[in-house]
């Protein structure tokens, strides 16, 4: 049930993107997301989609896995498509029943928005597919480093993020164990109305929260025992270095940016 | 069909559907009668825990069928739900499943789900508390104020309160101190004797199994490799050690003494038995 989520997972590999510096990937993805929103016409969006596809190939991640990451957002996709389809007015009317009108502009907006979201999800999941959680938080930590001048403890923030990510699978396992135990005592999660179903969650969440606290204490003790004091002065075993391939990521983004600017100028805007 | 529980050719795989399936349980046949007390032993990852989850239908085997009380437990939803009250499972570290405000309420969770009247629920709780040596004063406490051993007993009582015909305990004494361990084992034995329910103990502590069980099932690499009386199982000491299991420490001692030339029997499994045998030898001196 909860084991089939591929979004946000790391997939081990040895591809171009796997070897990239997490910082350049983070900046690249951020840049890319901005670009997706800068697209005004179908032509520029097509260019972005093509670049996304190339990136998927470069990442060496199975196309099937990438598509799987779209599964959780499927409902959002359908919802936005329908809303845009019916509530955008303007342009030629293609189809109309009982006051509901589907206009040309509506269809265009719906397709455009859906493509945008797909691009967004695919690119951001590529980041997590090719970067281990540790690398990711290390990258974020380094990128946020300037904030230390504002007396924000970036090191601790990064450590918190690493720990949060680390405990996701553990908690999933824990939930499964508690569900099994309560089911064995006759807990019923499938029948009944909303109220009784919500009540049925109490025997799961109370033990879960308690054991999370217990884990937090244990972890804190274990960290203290190994002399963790937090702070920004911690050094790293693996130093991050910007290499040629990282420069390539920036060039890639620059090329895409100029492509989009040109196409936006040449063609009429959809939205 | 005269056994209370029958597992027929059960196979289960966690990677259902994929090409290279790895079976956690493969072609297992197992029968159990009421009143029996059986130990399931096996190395970590041998499939013990998966096997017991099949007993009450938490996991649906890929092939094979499970009969409890003459009924195929997967025949419909209702049977699948009700089998949980016939086969009570207490998983590893059950104290982490406690959630109610008081010990009483927590033990009552199972019986309440059985839709019993509040009087019946109360009776069930009190008798389960008695089996697990939980005092009346403790019943009104919050389960989170108790010690580790007490919590464990409360959790076990929570399963016992459903009056299951079969009580399955996965590593019931793991992580307890020796006193708590001995106490719990004693309580389980008494429960089996007074209620006549069958008890299955999953463990890799041989002393525990020896002091409790008459019949022992050895699981290795997803299969049952041995299912026999206690004496018979431990006479296969070489086979046991080849699959990473061990005979009890007392037995080891007797085997060593025998190898050193002392004329002693080797079918000694508990310290009590050992004392019995050694007493005349000491007296002779």
Cβ–Cβ under 8 Å, residues B267 and B231 = yes
DSSP code, position B204:
S
Question: Which residues from chain B sit within 8 angstroms of residue A188, using beta carbons?
Answer: 81, 113
For range A138-148, the mean pLDDT: 86
For chain B, the maximum distance between any two Cα atoms, rounded to a whole number of angstroms, is 68
Cα distances from A232 to residues A132, A139, A145, B157, in angstroms, run 21, 14, 9, 50
Does residue B42 belong to the interface with chain A, where contact is any CB pair within 8 Å? no
A177–B91 CB contact, under 8 Å? yes
Q: Which whole number is the average pLDDT over A226-232?
A: 78
pLDDT band at A271 (very low <50, low <70, confident <90, very high): low
Please report the number of interchain residue pairs, chain A to chain B, with beta-carbon separation below 8 angstroms.
Answer: 56
Give the residues of chain B that fall short of pLDDT 70: 1, 15-20, 285
Residue B14 near chain A (CB below 8 Å): no
- CA distances from residue A251 to A119, A257, B86 in whole angstroms, order as listed: 20, 10, 67
Q: Do A180 and B99 touch (CB under 8 A)?
A: no
pLDDT at A2 over 50: no
Task: List CB contacts of A79: < 8 A, sequence separation 6 or more.
Answer: none
Note which residues in 67-126 of chain B have CB less than 8 A from chain A: 81, 84-85, 88-91, 94, 96-99, 109-110, 113-114
Assembly ipTM: 0.86
Q: pLDDT > 90: what percent of chain A?
A: 30
The shortest C-alpha distance from B87 to chain A (Å) reads 8
* Percent of the residues in chain A that have a pLDDT greater than 70, as a whole number: 95
Q: Which residue has the tokens 């620059």?
A: A254
Domain extents in chain A: 16-266
Contact B11, B61 (CB under 8 A): yes
Question: Contacts by A205-214 with C-beta closer than 8 Å and gap 24+?
Answer: A206/B99, A207/A178, A207/B96, A207/B97, A207/B98, A207/B99, A208/A171, A208/A174, A208/A175, A208/A178, A210/B96, A210/B99, A210/B144, A211/A174, A211/B96, A212/A171
Given CA atoms A144, A145, A146, A150 in this order, what sign does their dihedral have?
A: positive
A102 pLDDT band, cuts 50/70/90, is confident
Tell me the per-residue pLDDT of A169-201, one tens digit each, with 9 for 90 and over: 888 889 989 999 999 998 888 777 888 888 888
Between the two ends of chain A, the Cα-to-Cα distance in Å is: 39
B53: three-class secondary structure by DSSP: helix
């Amino acid at each position: 049930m909860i084991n089939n989520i591929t979004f946000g997972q790391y997939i081990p590999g040895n591809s171009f993107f796997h070897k990239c510096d997490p910082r350049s990937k983070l900046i690249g993805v951020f840049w890319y997301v901005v670009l997706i929103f800068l697209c005004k016409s179908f032509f520029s969006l097509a260019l972005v989609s093509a670049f996304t596809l190339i990136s998927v190939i470069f990442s060496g991640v199975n196309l099937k896995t990438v598509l799987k990451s779209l599964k959780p957002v499927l409902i959002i996709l359908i919802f936005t498509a329908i809303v845009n389809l019916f509530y955008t007015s303007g342009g030629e009317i293609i189809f109309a029943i009982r006051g509901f009108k589907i206009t040309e502009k509506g269809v265009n907006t719906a397709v455009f928005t859906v493509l945008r979201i797909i691009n967004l999800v695919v690119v951001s999941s590529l980041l997590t597919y090719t970067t281990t959680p540790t690398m990711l938080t290390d990258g974020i930590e380094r990128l946020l480093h300037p904030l230390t001048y504002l007396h924000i403890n970036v090191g601790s923030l990064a450590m918190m993020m690493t720990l949060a990510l680390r405990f996701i699978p553990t908690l999933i396992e824990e939930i499964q164990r508690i569900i099994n135990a309560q089911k064995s005592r006759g807990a019923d999660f499938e029948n009944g109305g909303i109220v009784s179903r919500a009540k049925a969650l109490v025997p799961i969440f109370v033990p879960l929260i308690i054991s999370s606290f217990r884990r937090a204490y244990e972890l804190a003790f274990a960290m203290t025992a190994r002399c963790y004091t937090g702070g920004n002065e911690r050094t790293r075993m693996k130093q991050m270095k910007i290499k040629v391939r990282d420069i390539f990521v920036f060039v890639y983004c620059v090329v895409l940016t100029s492509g989009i600017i040109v196409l936006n100028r040449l063609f009429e805007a959809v939205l | 069909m005269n056994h209370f529980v029958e597992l027929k050719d059960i196979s289960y795989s966690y990677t259902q559907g994929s090409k290279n399936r790895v079976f956690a349980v493969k072609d297992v046949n197992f029968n159990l009668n009421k009143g029996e007390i059986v130990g399931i032993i096996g190395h970590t990852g041998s499939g013990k825990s998966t096997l017991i989850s099949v007993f009450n239908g938490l996991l649906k085997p890929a092939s094979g069928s499970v009969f409890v009380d003459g009924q195929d437990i997967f025949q419909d939803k209702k049977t699948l739900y009700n089998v949980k009250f016939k086969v009570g499972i207490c998983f590893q570290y059950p104290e982490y499943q406690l959630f109610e405000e008081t010990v009483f309420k927590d033990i009552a969770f199972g019986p309440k789900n059985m839709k019993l009247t509040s009087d019946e629920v109360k009776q069930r709780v009190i008798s389960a508390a008695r089996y697990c040596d939980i005092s009346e004063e403790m019943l009104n406490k919050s389960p989170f104020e108790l010690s580790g051993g007490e919590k464990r007993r409360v959790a076990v009582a929570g399963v016992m309160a459903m009056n299951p015909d079969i009580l399955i305990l996965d590593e019931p004494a793991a992580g307890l101190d020796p006193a708590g361990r001995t106490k719990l084992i004693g309580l389980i034995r008494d429960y089996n004797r007074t209620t006549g329910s069958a008890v299955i103990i999953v463990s890799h502590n041989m002393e525990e199994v020896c002091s409790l069980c008459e019949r022992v099932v050895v699981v290795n690499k997803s299969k049952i490799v041995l299912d026999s009386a206690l004496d018979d199982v431990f006479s296969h000491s070489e086979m046991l050690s080849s699959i990473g299991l061990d005979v009890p420490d007392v037995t080891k001692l007797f085997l060593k003494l025998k190898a050193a030339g002392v004329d002693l029997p080797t079918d000694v499994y508990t310290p009590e038995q050992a004392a019995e045998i050694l007493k005349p030898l000491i007296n002779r001196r």
